[in-house]
Homo-oligomer: A and B are copies of this chain.
Amino acid sequence: MSIFEQLESEVRSYCRGWPVVFDRASGSRIYAEDGRPYLDFFAGAGALNYGHNNPVLKQALIDYLARDGVTHALDMFTAAKRDLLVTLEEKIFAPRELSYRVVFPGPGGTNAVEAALKLARKVTGRKQVVHFTNGFHGMTLGALSATGNSLHRRGAGVPLVHATPMPFDRYFDDSFPYLGYFERLLDDPGSGLDEPAAVIVETVQGEGGINAASAEWLRGLQELCRSHGILVIVDDVQMGCGRTGPFFSFEDAGIEPDLVCLSKSIGGYGLPMALTLIKPELDVWEPGEHNGTFRGVSPAFVTAAEALRVYWSDDELEKSTRAKGERVGIGLQNVVERFPEAGLVAKGRGLARGLEFSGGELAGQVCAAAFERGLLLETSGPGGEVVKLLPPLTLTDAEVDEGLEIIAESVKSALVGGR
C-alpha cells in the first residue's frame, strides 16, 4: 500500500476506513484484491443506484466502445446524446408532465450546482442564495459557499459569500417557526437578508445526516419562494434517480423546482456525468457562456439512456425501492428498540437511510465493525454521528437482510463490546 502513502495526498479519506485494495465489483458486492467480498451499502455515495457493473448497462457500454462510438464530444451533436435526450423526454419528463431544458454543465455534481447557481443569479439579477443547515452541494467555490460543513468550508482558503443558511426542516425543535421565520426575513425590508436569487435544497440531506424534509415543508418552501420571485433549486445529485423511490426525490411532495441538479447515478454505471435541468424560461445564457471539456461523455450517455429505458419504463423499480426502503426502515427500528438506552434514531426515506448515534465516535466504531464483517457503511452528519445506508436500489431482499444483520451485530459490538 506504500505507493498510496508515498504519492497520494493526505486529503484521501474513504480509504482510511476501508484499508484494503479493491479490485472487482458486481451488483451489490465489491471485492478486495484478495478476493474478499464486501456487501456495499455505500454504493459510490449514491452513484451506483443500479449496482456495480450492472450487466445490462455494461453490455451497452462495451458495445458502444467496441463499435467506436464517439467517446468525447464536448457539446457537439452526437447520436448518443440524441438518444439520451429522447429517452429523458419519453421516460422521465413526459410521464411526469415536466418541462425542462437540459444543460450539460460538466461531469460532476458540483458542476451541476455551479451552473444552477450561476444561472439563477444571472436570471434574477440577485446575488444572494439561501441554502440550508447541513446541506451539501460541492467543493468548487460557488457550490461550497452553499455547503454547511465547516471542515469543507475552511478548505476554501477565502471567505465564502453570497450565501446564507436557513434552518432545514426540523433542524430545531417542533416549536420553531421554520418557514415562518424565513418568510419574516423576506417580508421585512429591514431584516438584512438581501433578496435571494434562489434557494438550493436537498429533499433528503445525505451528507448532512439523512435528514428528510417533509412534503409540507417542501411545498411551503416552494410557495414562499414563488411569492418572492425566488427560484427553487433542488439538488437531487444524491437523492435523485430513484434513491427515495420516485425518479426525482421531490415527486412525492408534488413540487416542481425551477432548476434540478442531477449527477451521481444519472450516468447509470458510475461514469462521471451531470445534468442541470432548467425551466425553459430560464434558458438565457448565450452560446458558450458556460462550458467545459467533459460535458459530452458519450459512454455515460449510453449507460444513462439504457438505465432510463430499463428501469424507468414502468414503476417496478420505484415500488421495489419503496418496499426495500420500508424493510430497511423496520430493520433499523428493530435495532433502535433493541438498545433503548442508547437513544438511537432511525432516519430516512426510500433507500436513503440512517441510524443516528449519540456521537461520531460510536458511529465510526459501528462502521469499522461492519467493515470487519464484510459490509461497507459510511458515516454522515456534521459530527459523523449518523451511519448512512445507501445500498444499490437493485439489491435483493436477502442482501437487505444480510446487511441489517451485520448492522445489528456491529451496533451491539460497538455498544456492548466484544466481536
Contacts and interface: CB of A to CB of B under 8 A. Distances in A.
Contacts of A76: 14-15, 18, 22
Interface in A93-138: 100-104, 106-111, 114-115, 117-122, 127-128, 131-135, 138
A30 B78 CA distance: 11
A7 B118 CA distance: 20
Contacts of A134: 188, 190-192
A225 interface: no
Contact of A293 (B88, B175, B263, B291): B263
A77 B110 contact: no
A299 B135 CA distance: 30
Contacts of A71: 25, 48, 52-53, 269-271
What class of interface size applies to chain A in its complex with B? Answer: 35 or more
25 contacts: A3-B85, A4-B77, A4-B81, A8-B85, A10-B286, A11-B287, A12-B287, A25-B71, A26-B68, A46-B293, A48-B72, A108-B292, A108-B293, A108-B294, A109-B293, A114-B140, A114-B141, A122-B154, A135-B192, A151-B288, A152-B288, A152-B291, A159-B159, A172-B180, A190-B381
A160 B128 CA distance: 9
B52 A68 contact: yes
A13 interface: yes
A199 interface: no
Contacts of A294: 47, 107-108, 272
Contacts of A107: 107-108, 272, 294
A185 interface: yes
Contacts of A6: 89
A410 interface: no
Interface stretch (A57-65, A245-253, A351-359): A57-65
Given A188-B382, A189-B383, 7 more contacts: A10-B101, A25-B68, A110-B111, A118-B157, A140-B143, A158-B162, A190-B382
Interface stretch (A163-171, A311-319, A329-337, A338-346): A163-171
B45 A293 contact: yes
Interface string A178-212: 00110011001111111101000000000011000
Contacts of A157: 117-122, 127, 197
A310 interface: no
How many subunits of this chain does the assembly comprise? 4
A153 interface: yes
Contacts of A263: 293
B181 A101 contact: no
A415 interface: no
A77 to B, nearest CB: 4
A344 B61 CA distance: 45
Contact of A192 (B151, B165, B272, B290): B165
A15 B133 CA distance: 40
A8 B86 CA distance: 11
Given A140-B111, A285-B11, A161 B164 contact: no
A310 to B, nearest CB: 17
B110 A106 contact: yes
A243 to B, nearest CB: 13
A177 interface: yes
Contacts of A15: 75-77
Given A21-B82, A45-B74, A287-B13, A181 B176 contact: yes
A21 B156 CA distance: 41
A173 B297 CA distance: 41
